[in-house]
Structure 1
Amino acid sequence: MNIKEKIGDKVKIIRLEKDITIEYLANISDVDRNYISDIEKGKRNVSIEILEKIVVALNSNLSIFFNDEKFK
């Protein structure tokens, strides 16, 4: 699994745990829903600025996001 897929999986896992749709996440993060979908599928190189918007919208932070066995 490459880093894009790992990040996408983590975003999707957190989003689903919070029972949030991609559409709702797009609205609260101000990131296009198609872009979020592509991130979750591991198709996008996501910038740190966009990732921060998404992670904050998911009521998390980057240090918690990357503090996962998946990234070690």
Structure 2
Amino acid sequence: MLNCRESTALMSEARERDLTLAERLGLRLHWAMCSACRRFDRQLDVLRAAARRYAARDDRITSDQDDAPPR
């Protein structure tokens, strides 16, 4: 069975690649017993969404500055 360190590593990897069946099953088994790791998985989703919103905001600011008339 996975420990919390292995579980969190797999959760991070799952955002970059498809996990194997054995990895997914191991995570589900661990999550069944570990509320902290379930919470961490949800936090990863929140952080990813926030980073995407920030990057989109930064892109809009940059493009607005590109369109501004020179001073």
TM-score range normalised by the length of the shorter chain: 0.3 to 0.5
* Larger helix fraction of residues: 2
The structure showing larger relative contact order (alpha-carbon pairs under 8 Å, at least 6 residues apart) is 1
- Based on CA coordinates, which of the two structures has the bigger radius of gyration? 2
TM-score by structure 1 length? Answer: 0.33
